[in-house]
Structure 1
Amino acid sequence: MTAEPVWVGVDLGTQSVRALAVTASGQVAGSGTAPLSGRRDGPRHEQDPEQWWTAVGAACREALRDVAAGAVQAVAVDGTSGTVLLTDRDGRPLTPALMYDDTRAAGAVERINEAGGAVWRRLGYQRMQPAWALPKLLWLLENVPDLPDGARLAHQADFVNRRLTGHPVAADLSNALKTGADLVAETWPRDVLDALGVPAGLLPELERSGTQLGTVGAGAAAATGLPEGTPVIAGATDGCAAQLGTGRLTAGSWNSVLGTTLVLKGVTDDLVHDPFGVVYSHKAPDGRWLPGGASSTGAGALTRDFPGRDLADLDRRAAAREPAAALTYPLVGAGERFPFVAPDARGFTLGATGDEADAYAAELQGVAFVERLCFDHLDLLGAPTGGDLTLTGGAAKSRYWCQLRADVLGRPVLLPRQAEPALGAAVLAASPGRDVAGVASRMVAVAATVDPRPRDAGRFDDAYLRMVDELEGRGWLPAPTAAHARARTAR
């Protein structure tokens, strides 16, 4: 049994719950996972919140199997951004959970942006998007008749934290951003919500990530293996937790999470304002800002287009196709969110050769081109981008793809030893007084640095600019971003 103090991070993902018990030096003393399932139908994507709780219990019990009860110091939970449901006064679900990419509430977005436009502009992101949580809340209010007294909105992490503590809990500012929270004032914009018909008692209180929300109750202790009385710390969205889990928290540092889709998150001293409405900023526990965005490109395209294939073998074959003859914009689904907003965007391939290795190489390179375009857009906004860049997510397991991304970006990339949202949640759990940067620097180690190959300097520029031209020509990429990408390439 491990008696060394540990902090527990719980990551509520799309397909599973992951729990880690981590020591102060970053050693993983125990880990556990449990699967999740959902229901997709066109714009609808739902999960059963009770399944979250069952999975949290299983994952935590597994993670703590070899950890002494007295070793557990605190627990924090991260969740998918924009996932919400309604609960009764006792925290029981009144509705399924509307997941982060559910867009059935798209019809409410115009009304929301008319009512809250001034606030959204002050917060830097200009306007809300169809998959954000506030449109979903309005949809729920319109489609759930006769709400009982005491009904309450819950973000995914709120639901689990309520079960852990046994009482109502505040929402962290990170998860509340897409529900309309004013992250500058750290309050709900009551005049906007009143205009939209959101009852005042429906929304939880707000706290920064890293704030203690309560302690684990007796029932939750029996279900999870977490000792009764363990402090429950406010977590964050999974994207913010992933950033914390890289340990790179100085201004100008960035983390690129490449899983099913691509998510970029960085650290800045000042709030980033994006006139194009694609970059939004969360608030860090120490009051700095975590700007970023989520693209709809990513490794999900490989799962779709090369099912059951040996991707390591395809990696080796793709290395001979630099650059690929084909040019692919590998959208996982319909619509794009970052580095531009284009609901009508669709993936495409130009110059298909019929060669499997070339098709695969074109998808890897296409994701890398979008990643590069994201950084060009961030540079256009004046965000500092010259700090450390870490690569995390499932795709970081492909050393070839990491090398390719370093070559396309023309900069070194760092591969953390243990990088995942659950580790970032553990960092939050271990961050008394919100010294999250100091804690992260001690808990997170770098496993490798991948430098761009000198012989590949400029090798992908022509293909990248073809992508920029094509995206602009289709009316999706704004001209200022396209022009800035060309100018940076020419330097």
Structure 2
Amino acid sequence: MGLRLGIDIGTSGCRAAAIDMAGTPVDSERVAVAEPQRDGVAVEQDPALWWEGTRSAIRGLLQRVDASAITGIAVDGTSGTVLVTNAAGEPLAPALLYNDARATAEGATIDAVAPPESPARGAGSGLARALWLLSRHPGATHLLHQADWITGRLTGRFGHSDPNNALKTGWDPVAGRWPAWLEETGLDHSLLPAVHPAGTDLGPLDPAVAADLGLPAGTRAGAGTTDSTAAVLAAGAAQPGDAVTVLGSTLVLKVVSPEPVAEAATGVYSQPFGRYWLAGGASNSGGAVLRRFFDDEQLAALTPTLDPEQPTGLDYYPLPAPGERFPDNDPDKAPRMEPRPAEDAKFLQGLLEGMSAIEAAGYARLRELGAPAPQRVMTLGGGARNPAWTRIREHALGVAVSARPDAEPAAGTARLAPV
């Protein structure tokens, strides 16, 4: 039985997963990675931590699965995380994480020349962070994304990426090229990676690396993807109208669409997804709000007491702090979580109803932009384990909601590994 491996690199952990040739998960291994360093709006991390996490996760997994059966490997990483390296792929500085927000001047430069629908606009884009790094390391040879660099470490060949990771660095997925306007930002095109469709066979692993990891010498690497796209692959979304909601610290919505849709103001963009597109956006609401008021033990105790068939009428808009990006772009939007009832269960249900309403409004906004209405919604993330929330969301969305809390992005990425 052949096996394929997927690697999912997060900010605090790395997971390796094995699937069989039918796409069925076989086993997985997770190892912790030291948290990024934060200093105000600066968020950075030593890429060596990702590589050590990858090595440990693969070695741990291979203690339980047949290494000789593995044919290929692919990697996903956090969207918008970038680093610069020399010709040998050695990082010249810590990587800037997806939520590093110090590149304000670079964001203004991009906004002056980028098309209005480009997801590379603004200080929060991968392109802005790339320009910030390159201005401080003019001797760089490669500009890479998190998944690109790990794939390069596996193969010994750097300078390759995929459309999903490259999107927020300026890649035009419709034209299928790095656009000419990037030169107006001062970016040297020679630093940009070659972009291959996700799953493209990039060739064999470096023999010494394969031996170090315990993988067969013939193991091949596939072009990877971003963590959110990997989650969609893991959930099993495939046809237009298939939607995936990730209930993590934030609320991320994705729907398979026949055509790309975009709205830069609310962060809506579309990624290539086979012969279709994956349109989505992300609200600042989500599990981070719940964590302000309840721990795991309290949530477990309160959930069975909720009554999804009897709405509270509290009309909350739960946010962890002022500011919203999707479905409305309002940097000053205030959280609305009052009045707070005396009963904790009613308060919790009100928060869940508020987040469900945001989810419904998000899918409605995607529909207004041209994406299809959800025909079914698959749910990942910690919130997928809450049956009351699932029922509340079904009422709000008007479609069936299935919980896939154990669907791992690493297993989705493994689908991109060469056979």
Aligned to 1:80: 78
Aligned pair in 2 of structure 1 residues 70, 308: CA closer, same or farther (>3 Å)? closer
Please state how far the C-alpha of 1:114 moved relative to its aligned partner: 1.7
- Among 321, 338, 343, the alignment partner of 1:350 is 338
Q: Name structure 1 gaps, 5 residues minimum.
A: 433-491
Measured at CA, do residues 357 and 68 of structure 1 come closer, stay the same or move farther in structure 2, by a change above 3 Å?
A: same
Per mean C-alpha deviation after superposition, the further-off stretch among 197-206 and 24-33 is 24-33
Note the C-alpha offset of 1:154.
Answer: 1.1
Q: 1:321 to 1:362 in 2, by over 3 A?
A: farther
Q: CA deviation at 1:335?
A: 3.0
Deviations 1:56-84 (Å, cap 9, x if unpaired)?
11111122212222210111111111011
Indicate which of 186, 191, 194 corresponds to 1:202: 191
Corresponding position: 1:330 with 2:318: yes
Question: Contact between 2:266 and 2:325, CA under 8 Å: does it hold in 1?
Answer: no
Report the CA distance between 1:236 and its aligned residue: 0.7
1:417-475 CA-to-partner distances (Å, cap 9, x unmatched) read: 84221121011125x6xxxxxxxxxxxxxxxxxxxxxxxxxxxxxxxxxxxxxxxxxxx
Q: Hey, what does 1:238 align to over in structure 2? A: 227
Query: Per-residue deviation at 1:14?
Result: 2.2
2:298 to 295, 307, 310: 310
Paired residue type of 1:87: T
Among 101, 111, 114, the alignment partner of 2:112 is 114
Overall identity of the aligned pairs, in %:
38
Structure with more relative contact order (C-alpha pairs < 8 Å, separation 6 or more): 2
**Contact 2:266 2:281 (C-alpha < 8 Å) held by counterparts:** no
* C-alpha distance in structure 1 between counterparts of 2:237 and 2:31, whole Å: 29
Measured against aligned partners, the alpha-carbon deviations of 1:232-289 in whole angstroms (never above 9, x if no partner) come to: 00111111111111222111211111111111112111121437443100112x3421
For the aligned residue pairs, the C-alpha RMSD in angstroms reads 2.1
1:250 corresponds to which of 208, 233, 239: 239
Change (3 A) 1:173 1:311: same
Matched, 1:133 2:126: yes
Alignment check: 8 A CA contact 2:379 2:405 kept:
no
User: Which residue matches 2:61?
Assistant: 63
Contact kept, 8 Å, 1:183 with 1:283, in 2: the verdict is yes
1:92, distance to aligned residue in structure 2 (A): 1.3
Q: Offset of 1:219 from its aligned partner?
A: 3.2
Matching residue's letter, 1:19: A
Which range is displaced more, 336-345 or 42-51? 336-345
Residues 307, 277 of structure 1: CA spacing in aligned structure 2 closer, same or farther, 3 A cutoff? closer
State the Cα distance separating 1:54 from its structure 2 match.
Answer: 0.4
Task: Specify the code of the residue in structure 1 equivalent to 2:73.
Answer: V
1:280 aligns with one of 269, 278, 290: 269
Alignment match, 2:167: 177
Q: How has the CA–CA distance of structure 1 residues 23 and 333 changed in structure 2, closer, same or farther, with 3 Å as cutoff?
A: farther
Q: In the aligned structure 1, how far is the partner of 2:171 from the partner of 2:112?
A: 16
Structure 1 residue corresponding to 2:2, chosen from 5, 12, 15: 5
- The superposition leaves residues 131-171 of structure 1 with CA deviations (integer Å, 9 ceiling, x where unpaired) of 210111122223x25x32x5211100011001000111411
* Deviation of 1:324 (Å): 3.0
Matched residue type, 1:45? V
In 2 relative to 1, CA 66–370 (structure 1 residues): closer, same or farther, beyond 3 Å?
same
Q: Does 1:301 align with 2:289?
A: yes
Report the equivalent of 2:141. Answer: 151
Instruction: State the partner residue of 1:100.
Output: 98
- Distance in 2 (CA, whole Å) between partners of 1:168 and 1:132 is 22
Structure 2 counterpart of 1:20: 17
Cα distance in structure 2, aligned partners of 1:177 and 1:322: 43
Output the amino acid matched with 1:116: A
Does the CA contact (< 8 Å) of 1:297 and 1:330 recur in 2? yes
Q: How does 1:427-438 map to 2 (within 5 A)?
A: 427-429=415-417
Going from structure 1 to structure 2, the CA distance change for 1:134 and 1:333 (only over 3 Å counts) comes to farther
Measured in 1, the distance between the counterparts of 2:164 and 2:195 equals 10
Distance 2:188 2:89 in 1: 17
Helix, strand or coil at the partner of 2:246: strand
Q: CA deviation at 1:389?
A: 1.6
Q: Decide whether the 8 Å contact of 2:163 with 2:271 is kept in 1.
A: yes
Q: TM-score, normalised by structure 1?
A: 0.80
1:10 and 1:42 mapped to 2: Cα distance? 30
Name the counterpart of 1:213: 202
Equivalent-residue separation in structure 1 for 2:238 and 2:8 (angstroms): 20
Tell me how far apart the structure 2 counterparts of residues 297 and 60 of structure 1 sit (CA, whole Å): 34
> Which of 64, 88, 91 is the matching residue for 2:89?
91
When normalised by structure 2's length, the TM-score is: 0.93
Say whether 1:187 aligns with 2:177: yes
Question: Is contact 2:353–2:392 with CA below 8 Å preserved after alignment?
Answer: yes
1:176-199 deviation digits (Å, cap 9, x = unpaired): 00000111121111x312111112
User: Does the 8 A contact of 1:393 with 1:420 survive in 2?
Assistant: no
C-alpha separation between the residues in 2 aligned to 1:104 and 1:346?
23
SS in 2 for 1:359: helix
CA deviation string 1:192-246 (max 9, x = no partner): 1211111222211111111112222133224433323311001111111111112
Within 5 Å, which residues of 2 pair with 1:371-390?
A: 371-390=359-378
Q: 2:393 aligns with which of 396, 405, 421?
A: 405
- Cα distance change of structure 1 residues 389 and 130 upon mapping to structure 2, 3 Å threshold: same
Aligned length: 418
Provide the rounded CA distance (Å) in 2 between the counterparts of 1:347 and 1:90.
48
The alpha-carbon deviation at position 325 of structure 1 amounts to: 5.5
